[in-house]
């Protein structure tokens, strides 16, 4: 049973560069979520998809952030013109859409450091 996977696990970049993270959900899960976790804090919701449709976006998701899930399977999260404040752990989770409340299964995260 393959869990949620994320790539890369770590990313170091310079301020102003663009970065892209990938998330592969559990294969039968049609909902996919992105969260951001800064040091000493709980995860903060960014956005989620059902299949390829983006159903909800947080105000935290500024215009420098974009998430896609083009074929309803894997998802990418891109950050353009990175800033030092973007340094955080980016977590992806997936769930089934049916039933409630839905249990979200988390991946190991991508840790981003912006220099």
Partner 1 sequence: AQSVTQLGSHVSVSEGALVLLRCNYSSSVPPYLFWYVQYPNQGLQLLLKYTSAATLVKGINGFEAEFKKSETSFHLTKPSAHMSDAAEYFCAVTRGDTDKLIFGTGTRLQVFP
**Residue 91 binds to partner 1 (criterion: CB under 8 A):** yes
**Peptide bond between residue 8 and the one before it cis (omega within 30 degrees of 0):** yes
Phi, psi of 86 (to 5 degrees): -80, -10
Q: Which of 17/62 has CB closer to partner 1?
A: 62
Q: Which two tokens stand for residue 86?
A: 């973007």
52 near partner 1, judged by CB under 8 A:
no
**Cα separation values, 92 from 14, 15, 16, 46, 115, Å:** 23, 23, 24, 10, 23
Indicate whether 65 belongs to the interface with partner 1 (CB under 8 A): no
Rounded Cα distance between 40 and 54, Å, is: 28
18 binds partner 1 (CB under 8 A): no
Interface with partner 1, residue 98, by CB under 8 A: no
Number of residues that bind partner 1 (CB under 8 A): 27
**Residue 57, class by beta-carbon neighbours within 10 Å (0-12 exposed, 13-18 middle, 19+ buried)?**
middle
Task: Confirm or reject binding of residue 101 to partner 1 (CB under 8 A).
Answer: yes
Q: Does 105 bind partner 1 (CB under 8 A)?
A: yes
Rank residues 82 and 95 by Cβ distance to partner 1 and give the closer one.
95
Where along the sequence are the contacts to partner 1 (CB under 8 A)?
4, 31, 33, 35, 40-45, 48, 56, 58, 91, 93, 95, 100-109, 111
């Amino acid at each position: 049973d393959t869990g949620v996977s994320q790539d890369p696990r770590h990313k170091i970049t310079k301020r102003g560069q663009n970065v892209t993270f990938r998330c592969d959900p559990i294969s039968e899960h049609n909902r996919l979520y992105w969260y951001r976790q800064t040091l000493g804090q709980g995860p903060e919701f960014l956005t989620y998809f059902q299949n390829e449709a983006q159903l909800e976006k947080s105000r935290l998701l500024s215009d420098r952030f974009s998430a896609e899930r083009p074929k309803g399977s894997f998802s990418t999260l891109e950050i353009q013109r990175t800033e030092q404040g973007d340094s955080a752990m980016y977590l992806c989770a997936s769930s089934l859409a049916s039933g409630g409340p839905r249990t979200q299964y988390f991946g190991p995260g991508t840790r981003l450091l912006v220099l």
